[in-house]
Amino acid sequence: MTTSAPAIRVTDLRKTYGAFAAVDGISFEIEPGETFALLGPNGAGKSTTVEILEGYRERSGGDVSVLGSDPRHATLEWKARIGIVLQQTGESGNVTVREQLTHFASLYPRPRDVDEVLAAVGLEQKAKTRIKSLSGGQRRRVDVALGVIGRPELLFLDEPTTGFDPEARRQFWELIRSLSREGTTIVLTTHYLDEAAQLSDRAAVIAAGRLIDIGPVDELGSTEARVPIVRWRDGQGGHERRTAEPARLVAELAAALGEPVDLEVIRPSLEDVYLELVASVEEVAA
C-alpha cells in the first residue's frame, strides 16, 4: 500500500431513520488504486453506505472523505473525478448507444475514446441501436460504459454484472482489471461472491448495519473457517475432516485404504466464509 492519503476514509458512519440504524458506526479506509468490495445481505446497509460516499444520501453522523472532499459538499469538479454504475438508471431510450456515450464523454475533461469503451463492454454491433431496443443485459452494458467513459479516478460499481451472461461477465472482469492496472480506485458491491474474489484486493462484510469483518479476500473470516475440508467414503460410510495439512491426510488415507472413494479436498471459498460470517450475526440477532 502507498503512504498517500486514502482515496476514501469513513469514520463512525451512521445513518438512522427514527429509531432504526441502517448504518451503525462503520469505519474503514480505501487506498488509491485499490479494488474494494462491500459485501452483505440485502438490507445490511451497504447500499446506503455507498450512496453516502457518492453524495446521493445525507448521513446522520460520522465523518466521510472521498478524494479529499466531503461528499455532502460535492462540487462539479469533484463529481467529474468519479464514475458511478447504479443498480438501475434512467437513461434515455430514444438515442443510440453511440449518441449517449458521445454525449456523456463531452461532459468530462479527459474522456475515454467512445469506440474503445464500446469494444470493452461488447456493444460494437449495437452502437447505432436505440437504447430502448436493447435487451436488459445490453442496457446494463450501457450503464457500465457510461460509468467508465469519463476516465474516473474513483469508480463505484453497484451490482454491475446483473443480467450479464457468463462470457460478458468475464469480459467485464478484464475491463475492471485494466482499470485497476491504470490506477483507478474501485468500490464494488455485488452478490456474486466469485466476482468479488476475482476482482477485489480487500473486502468488507456488512450485516445489520455493522462492519463485521474487513481484510484481504483470502484472510476474511476465522482461521477455522478457512481450514480445508477433506471428504471421503469407505465401508463405514462418508467422512469429513477439517485439517490444515490436507495433503498429509490424503496420503494417510491412501496408505490405509488404497484409493479412497469419492475423495475431495475442499478449500473454503469466499462464499463459504461470507455465509459463515453472516450466519453468526443472524444467530446473535435471533
pTM: 0.83
Helical ranges in the chain per DSSP H: 46-54, 76-79, 97-105, 114-120, 136-148, 166-181, 193-199, 246-257, 270-285
Residue 201 and residue 216 in contact, taking contact as beta carbons nearer than 8 Å = yes
**Closest by CA position to 123, among listed 140, 103, 102:** 140
Could you give the CA distance from residue 167 to residue 174 in angstroms, rounded to a whole number? 11
Q: What is the DSSP letter of 129?
A: S
- Grid cell at residue 128: 447505432
Q: Quick one: pLDDT at residue 61?
A: 96
pLDDT tens over the chain, length 286 residues: 445 799 999 999 999 999 999 999 999 999 999 999 999 998 899 999 999 999 999 999 999 999 999 999 888 889 889 999 877 665 567 899 999 999 999 988 889 999 989 988 889 999 999 998 888 778 888 888 898 899 899 999 988 887 777 887 888 888 889 889 989 999 999 889 999 999 999 999 999 999 999 999 988 988 888 888 999 998 888 999 989 899 999 999 889 888 888 899 988 888 888 888 888 776 655 5
Residue 123 and residue 134 in contact, taking contact as beta carbons nearer than 8 Å = no
- Grid cell at residue 46: 451497504
Q: Quick one: pLDDT at residue 50?
A: 94
Residue 258 and residue 234 in contact, taking contact as beta carbons nearer than 8 Å = no
Cell 502507498 belongs to residue: 2
3-state secondary structure of 278: helix
